[in-house]
Amino acid sequence: MWKRVSVLWSMIRGDARLLWFAVRHPLAPRWLKPSLALAALYALSPIDLLPDVVPVLGLADDLLLLPLALAFIVRRLPPALRADFARRAA
């Protein structure tokens, strides 16, 4: 289980680093900043898709939806920019 958590953490960290470079790039798509703002708002918001009162599912939606959202945003970046960002992040 800890191996899965560490793989998930490295994926999130890599996507976050790539998106950090993407937001600051002048040729980044215009939809990038609002989509990242919505993802951050969901992460910080007390309103969840599933309430935290439900023991496992309340925490699971936070731990699953945010990495999936970041991965979705990364996949929607233009391939040329994504390769440039990945090269800079490495």
pLDDT in tens, 37-80: 998 888 777 676 666 666 776 667 777 788 888 889 989 988 88
- Using CA atoms, how far apart are residues 53 and 69, in angstroms rounded to an integer? 23
Domain boundaries defined on the chain: 2-89
Residue with tokens 């090269």: 87
Buried b (16+ CB within 10 A) or exposed e, 59-76: eebeeebebebbeebbee
The single-letter DSSP state of residue 28 is S
Q: How high is the pLDDT of residue 53? A: 67
> Hey, what are 71's tokens?
């991965």
